[in-house]
C-alpha cells in the first residue's frame, strides 16, 4: 500500500529550510520515536541519503514514560505498565540489531527529549535532522520546540508523515478545515489508499557510519533492570514480543494464510479466543510496521479505522477530555475510586469482565470485543464511571496503547461521541450485517444506542459456553461447573464448596446487579442526552453539577421505593 505522495513532505517543513545555513558539517541525525523500524521508513531513508558524513540514529528514553513509580497500581511507571516498557525495549533491541547489520547502531540517550536533542544537534554538528511527523499533542509541543531551535541555527528538518497512510492535515484541509466525524465521510474524502508498490527503499546494503559521539553520554539499549524494574515483577508477562522482525513475521503469517484472510470478518471473531486470537494482533506493532501489500477489504477496513481516529483526534480540540471537547457529550459521570479500582483489578464479581481485566494486566492485549465489554461495563453499562478514567487504565497497560485510537474508542463505547454516525457501509458486508444483527440479540434495550448494553453474562457465554477463557485468566474459578461459570453467585453453596471457590470469600460477589444497574445507567444517559440537546451542547459546570445532584437524588428515592416494606 502506498502513501499518498503529498504525505512525504512535512506539513511544516516548508519554513524550516533557511537559505543562510549556519549549521556546519554534513552529518545527519535520525530521531526514532514511534516508527521503530528500518524498512519503509522515509525519515531514515532521507537521513541516510542526505548524509555524506556520519549518521546518528538516536532514541531518547523519556523519564516521563519510563521512570518507575512505586505508587502506581501495578508495576511500571506512572504512564506505562511494565509490559509496555519491556515491549518497547524489545523493539529497540531489534531496531539496534537491524541497524548493526547495516554497519550502524542505535544510540540510546536519557532525559527530557527536547533538551537531549538540542545538545546532540550542537555537539555532533548536525546539518540535517530527520524524524517521523507525529500528531499526538505531546509530540506536537515537543517537536515545535525542537524545530524552532533547529531553524534558528540553520539545521534542516525533514519530518515526513509515515505513521499513517494518509496525512491528517491534508484530510482536514480537504474537509474545509474540520475533521470528518464519521468513518464514511472520512473514506469519501480520503479515497482509496493506493495499493501500488511503494517507491520507498525497503532494504539497504549499508548505512552511513555513526560518527564520534564526543562528550554526549550514549548507551546500548538498556535491560529492564537498568531502568529500575525487575523480571520477577510480574508472574506472567505478555506473550507478544516487541520489534520489527516480530511484526513482519506476524504480518506475513496473517496475510499468507489466504483462507484466514478471506474469512476475516471483524464482528465474527471470537473475543474469547486467546491461545490463537481471532484477529491479527498487529496493533502493538503498528508503531513499527505498515502494510504494503493489498489486503482484503475487511482487513483494510480495520486499518482505515485507525486512519479515521488519527484524523479526528488531530482535528479536535481537547480530544482526550470531556470538557471543552466539541464532539463529546457532557455527561455527569460518577466519581467512585473503589468501584474504579474493583474494575481495574478484575474484582467486579463478573467473571467475564474480570477475566478480561486480568488479561489486560498480564498480557497488555485483548480482543476488540472484550474491550467493548469492559468499557461499556465501566461507563454507560453498569458503573457510570467517567470514560477518562478507564482510558487512563487502558493507556497505561495496553501494549498497543495509542493516544488517538484509545481516546476515540472510549468516547465511542461510552456513547459520548461518534456512535450516532453512519455505519461504514462500503466496508460492511451482508455477512457482517447479519453478525451485527445476532450481536444485537445479546444487548438489552432498543432505540438510542446507549440503550444497547453488553451483558456481562450472556455476551461472553455466546462465544465460550464452557468458560475456557474465564478458567484460564481466573484460575480460582477453574472447577466451577459451566452452568455457573458466568454467574458463580447463583451456584448453590455445595457446588461452590466442591469447586473450592466460595463467592464472597475466594471470589468477589457481583459489585452491582446488572439488570438494576444498567437500568439506572440508561435513565441517567437519557437525562444527560436530553440536557445536551436542550442546551445545544453548551453545558457549563453548574448545569452538569445540577444534573448530577438530581440524578443522585432520584437514584436514592428509586432505591428507597424498591426496598421491600417491613411490617
Ligand atoms: P485487527 O482486527 O487484526 O485489525 C488490524 C488493525 O486495524 C489493528 O491492529 C488496528 O491498528 C486497526 N484497528 C482495528 N480495530 C480498530 C478500531 N476499532 N479503531 C482503530 N483502529 C483499529 N487499538 C489500538 O491500537 N490502541 C489502543 O489504545 C486501543 N484502545 C482501544 C480502547 C477501546 C475501549 C476499544 C473498544 C478499542 C481500542 N482499540 C485500540 C482498537 C482495537 O480494539 C485494537 O486495535 C484491536 O483489538 C487490535 O487487535 P488486532 O491488531 O488483532 O486487530
Ligand atoms: Mg481486532
CA–CA dist 556, 112 (Å, integer): 50
Question: In this predicted model, what pLDDT tens digit does every residue of 369-389 receive, in sequence order?
Answer: 999 999 999 999 999 999 999
Which residue has cell 494518509? 166
Question: In this predicted model, what pLDDT tens digit does every residue of 245-264 receive, in sequence order?
Answer: 999 998 888 777 766 666 66
Give the distance (Å) from ligand 1 centre to CA of residue 263: 18
Q: Is the CB of 279 under 6 A from ligand 1?
A: yes
Q: Is the CB of 413 under 6 A from ligand 1?
A: yes
Q: For the chain, which residues make up each domain, given as ranges?
A: 18-159, 165-199+249-315+418-449, 323-415+452-567
- Ligand 1 atom nearest 395 alpha carbon: 28
Q: Are 367 and 273 in contact (CB under 8 A)?
A: yes
Give the distance (Å) from ligand 2 centre to CA of residue 367: 5
Q: Mean pLDDT over all residues of the chain?
A: 86
Average pLDDT over residues 459-475: 97
pLDDT of 563: 60
Which among 283, 356, 385, 409 is the best mutation to test ligand 1's pocket, defined by most ligand atoms within 8 Å of the CB? 283
pLDDT bracket for residue 297 (50, 70, 90): very low
Give the distance (Å) from ligand 1 centre to CA of residue 409: 9
Classify 483 as helix, strand or coil: helix
DSSP code of 378?
I
Q: Is the CB of 401 under 6 A from ligand 1?
A: yes
Which among 168, 302, 364 is the best mutation to test ligand 1's pocket, defined by most ligand atoms within 8 Å of the CB? 302
Q: Indicate which residue's Cα is closest to atom 9 of ligand 1.
A: 283
- Pairing of the two strands 443-444 and 156-158: unpaired
pLDDT of 294: 34
Question: In this predicted model, what pLDDT tens digit does every residue of 486-539 receive, in sequence order?
Answer: 999 999 999 999 999 999 999 999 999 999 999 999 999 999 999 999 998 889
Q: What is the pTM of this model?
A: 0.90
Give the distance (Å) from ligand 1 centre to CA of residue 372: 11
Nearest ligand by distance to the CA of 409: 1
- Assign domain 165-199+249-315+418-449 to a CATH class: mainly alpha
pLDDT bracket for residue 299 (50, 70, 90): confident
Nearest ligand by distance to the CA of 281: 1
Classify 525 as helix, strand or coil: helix
Which among 238, 304, 400, 454 is the best mutation to test ligand 1's pocket, defined by most ligand atoms within 8 Å of the CB? 400
Q: Is the CB of 407 under 6 A from ligand 1?
A: no
- Judged by average pLDDT, the poorest of 247-261, 301-315, 413-427 is 413-427
pLDDT bracket for residue 21 (50, 70, 90): very low
Please state, for a pLDDT cut of 70, what percent of the chain lies above it. 83
pLDDT of 434: 53
Q: How many helices (H) and strands (E) in the chain?
A: 21, 7
Residue 427 in this model has a pLDDT that exceeds 50: no
Q: Is the CB of 282 under 6 A from ligand 1?
A: yes
pLDDT bracket for residue 301 (50, 70, 90): confident
pLDDT bracket for residue 282 (50, 70, 90): confident
Contacts for 128 with CB less than 8 Å, ≥ 6 apart: 27, 28, 29, 46, 47, 50, 51, 155, 156, 157, 158
Give me the phi and psi of 88, to 5 degrees please: -65, -45
Classify 120 as helix, strand or coil: helix
Q: Is the CB of 405 under 6 A from ligand 1?
A: yes
pLDDT of 252: 85
Return the top range by mean pLDDT from 185-199, 213-227, 282-296: 213-227
Q: Is the CB of 303 under 6 A from ligand 1?
A: yes
Q: Domain 18-159 sits in which CATH superfamily?
A: HUPs (3.40.50.620)
Q: Indicate which residue's Cα is closest to atom 43 of ligand 1.
A: 368
Contacts for 394 with CB less than 8 Å, ≥ 6 apart: 360, 371, 401, 406, 410
pLDDT of 421: 40
Average pLDDT over residues 87-108: 97
Question: In this predicted model, what pLDDT tens digit does every residue of 40-90 receive, in sequence order?
Answer: 999 999 999 876 799 999 999 999 999 999 999 999 999 999 999 999 999
Q: Indicate which residue's Cα is closest to atom 32 of ligand 1.
A: 406
Give the distance (Å) from ligand 1 centre to CA of residue 467: 24
pLDDT of 451: 85
- Ligand 1 atom nearest 282 alpha carbon: 51
- Ligand 1 atom nearest 375 alpha carbon: 34
CA–CA dist 528, 127 (Å, integer): 56
pLDDT of 201: 64
Average pLDDT over residues 208-236: 93
pLDDT of 265: 66
pLDDT of 22: 55
Q: Is the CB of 522 under 6 A from ligand 1?
A: no
Question: In this predicted model, what pLDDT tens digit does every residue of 106-125 receive, in sequence order?
Answer: 999 999 999 999 999 999 99
Give the distance (Å) from ligand 1 centre to CA of residue 279: 10
Q: Is the CB of 319 under 6 A from ligand 1?
A: no
- Judged by average pLDDT, the poorest of 36-45, 214-223, 442-451, 457-466 is 442-451
> For domain 323-415+452-567, which CATH number applies: 1.10.579.10, 2.40.50.700, 1.10.10.10, 3.30.300.90?
1.10.579.10
- Ligand 1 atom nearest 285 alpha carbon: 9
Supply angle C-alpha 33, 36, 39, rounded to 5: 135
Amino acid at each position: 500500500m502506498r502513501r499518498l505522495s503529498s504525505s512525504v513532505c512535512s506539513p511544516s517543513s516548508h519554513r524550516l529550510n533557511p537559505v543562510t545555513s549556519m549549521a556546519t558539517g554534513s552529518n545527519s541525525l535520525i530521531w526514532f520515536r514511534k516508527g521503530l523500524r528500518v524498512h519503509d521508513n522515509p525519515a531514515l531513508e532521507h537521513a541516510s541519503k542526505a548524509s555524506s558524513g556520519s549518521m546518528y540514529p538516536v532514541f531518547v528514553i523519556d523519564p516521563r514514560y519510563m521512570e518507575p513509580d512505586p505508587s502506581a497500581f501495578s508495576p511500571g511507571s506512572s504512564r506505562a505498565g511494565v509490559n509496555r516498557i519491556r515491549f518497547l525495549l524489545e523493539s529497540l533491541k531489534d531496531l539496534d540489531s537491524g541497524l548493526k547489520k547495516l554497519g550502524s547502531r542505535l544510540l540510546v540517550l536519557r532525559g527530557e527529549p527536547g533538551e537531549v536533542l538540542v545538545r546532540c544537534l550542537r555537539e555532533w554538528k548536525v546539518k540535517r535532522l530527520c524524524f517521523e511527523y507525529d500528531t499526538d499533542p505531546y509530540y506536537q509541543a515537543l517537536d515545535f520546540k525542537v524545530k524552532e531551535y533547529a531553524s534558528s541555527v540553520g539545521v534542516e528538518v525533514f519530518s515526513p508523515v509515515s505513521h499513517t497512510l494518509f496525512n491528517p492535515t491534508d484530510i482536514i484541509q480537504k474537509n474545509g478545515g474540520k475533521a470528518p466525524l464519521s468513518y464514511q465521510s472520512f473514506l469519501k474524502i480520503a479515497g482509496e489508499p493506493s495499493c501500488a508498490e511503494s517507491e520507498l527503499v525497503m532494504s539497504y546494503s549499508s548505512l552511513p557510519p555513526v560518527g564520534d559521539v564526543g562528550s554526549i553520554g550514549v548507551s546500548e539499549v538498556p535491560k529492564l533492570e537498568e531502568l529500575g524494574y525487575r523480571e520477577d515483577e510480574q508472574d506472567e508477562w505478555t506473550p507478544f514480543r516487541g520489534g520489527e522482525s516480530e511484526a513482519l513475521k506476524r504480518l506475513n503469517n496473517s496475510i499468507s494464510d489466504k483462507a484466514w484472510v478471506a474469512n476475516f470478518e471483524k464482528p465474527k471473531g471470537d473475543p474469547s479466543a486467546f491461545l490463537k486470537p481471532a484477529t491479527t494482533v498487529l496493533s502493538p506493532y503498528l508503531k513499527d510496521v505498515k502494510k504494503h501489500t493489498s489486503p482484503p477489504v475487511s482487513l483494510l477496513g480495520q486499518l482505515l479505522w485507525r486512519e479515521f481516529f488519527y484524523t479526528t483526534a488531530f482535528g479536535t480540540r481537547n480530544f482526550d477530555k470531556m470538557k471543552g471537547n466539541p464532539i463529546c457529550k457532557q455527561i455527569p459521570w460518577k466519581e467512585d475510586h473503589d468501584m474504579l479500582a474493583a474494575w481495574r483489578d478484575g474484582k467486579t464479581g463478573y467473571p467475564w469482565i474480570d477475566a478480561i481485566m486480568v488479561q489486560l494486566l498480564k498480557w497488555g492485549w485483548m480482543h476488540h470485543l472484550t474491550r467493548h465489554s469492559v468499557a461499556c461495563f465501566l461507563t454507560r453499562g453498569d458503573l457510570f464511571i467517567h470514560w477518562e478514567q478507564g482510558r487512563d487504565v487502558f493507556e497505561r497497560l495496553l501494549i498497543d496503547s495509542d493516544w488517538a485510537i484509545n481516546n476515540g474508542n472510549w468516547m465511542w463505547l461510552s456513547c459520548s461521541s461518534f456512535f450516532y454516525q453512519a455505519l461504514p457501509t462500503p466496508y460492511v458486508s451482508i455477512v457482517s450485517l447479519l453478525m451485527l444483527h445476532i450481536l444485537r440479540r445479546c444487548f438489552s434495550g432498543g432505540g438510542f444506542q446507549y440503550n444497547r448494553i453488553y451483558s456481562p453474562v450472556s455476551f461472553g457465554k455466546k462465544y465460550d459456553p464452557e468458560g475456557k477463557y474465564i478458567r484460564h485468566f481466573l484460575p480460582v474459578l477453574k472447577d466451577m461447573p459451566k452452568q455457573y461459570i458466568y454467574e458463580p453467585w447463583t451456584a448453590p453453596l455445595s457446588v461452590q464448596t466442591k469447586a473450592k471457590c466460595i463467592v464472597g470469600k475466594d471470589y468477589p460477589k457481583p459489585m452491582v446487579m446488572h439488570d438494576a444497574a444498567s437500568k439506572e445507567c440508561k435513565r441517567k444517559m437519557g437525562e444527560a442526552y436530553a440536557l445536551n440537546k436542550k442546551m445545544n451542547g453548551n453545558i457549563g459546570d453548574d448545569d452538569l453539577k445540577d444534573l448530577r445532584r438530581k440524578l443522585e437524588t432520584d437514584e436514592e428515592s428509586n432505591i428507597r421505593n424498591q426496598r421491600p416494606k417491613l411490617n
